[in-house]
Amino acid sequence: MSENQIEEKKGWSWLGFFFAPLYYAGYGNIKKGVIYAIIGAFPLFGLIIAIIAGKNARKELPIGKQKFKWVNVVLIIFLYVASAMIMQVAIKGATPSQEIVTIKQSKLGMCPKATVEEMVDGFMGDSS
């Protein structure tokens, strides 16, 4: 192989596997980083994305040829935090279904004096 030929990078990338959205965004592929962040929010899809990124990151990203852009990583982290805050507000604002209310108000045979909700609150302090 001559000096002018560049060897294709191959192999597994642990950084790509564990930090796929951040790794792709940091090396300038923000679009793929955002897509991986959104799809990766769902556990099964997150595992699939991690495997794909671990397998392909060395081939697709300009590792060692381009500076890592931490600003892009901050953008992806901001996306994570904003999504978590929106989900938290949506979950807190949701009214429980009739099934949940029925379960909370039920009493178990082993402790007939307290409802399930009272037992959970007494055990955990904060049932949420």
pLDDT of residue 42: 85
Confidence category of residue 126, pLDDT binned at 50, 70, 90: low
Are 23 and 52 in the same domain? yes
Whether 14 and 52 share a structural domain? yes
Do 54 and 82 sit in the same domain of this protein?
Answer: yes
Rounded Cα distance, 72 and 23, in Å: 9
Q: Does residue 88 sit in the same domain as residue 100?
A: no
Q: Which region, left, alpha or beta, applies to residue 47 given φ > 0 means left and ψ of -120 to 50 means alpha?
A: alpha
Total domain count, the chain: 2
Are residues 85 and 111 located together in one domain of the fold?
no
pLDDT over 90 (residue 92): no
**Confidence label for 27 from pLDDT (cuts 50, 70 and 90):** very high
Which pLDDT score is estimated for 5?
A: 46
Contact 3, 57 (CB under 8 A): no
- HSE (side-chain half, CA atoms, 13 Å) at 21: 20
Q: Are residues 46 and 107 in the same domain?
A: no
pLDDT over 90 for what percent of the chain?
47
Task: pLDDT band for 97, please (50, 70, 90 cuts).
Answer: confident
Residue 49, number of CB atoms within 10 A of its CB: 23
Out of 20-29, 90-99, 119-128, pick the least confident.
119-128
What predicted TM-score, i.e. pTM, was given to this entire model?
A: 0.63
User: How far is Cα 86 from Cα 67, in angstroms, rounded to an integer?
Assistant: 33
Assess whether 83 and 116 both reside in one domain. Answer: no
Q: How confident is the model at residue 1, as a pLDDT? A: 47
Q: What is the pLDDT of residues 57-81, one digit of tens each?
A: 999 999 989 999 999 999 999 988 8
Domain that includes residue 22, residue range: 8-94
60: Cβ contacts below 8 Å, ≥ 6 apart: 24, 29
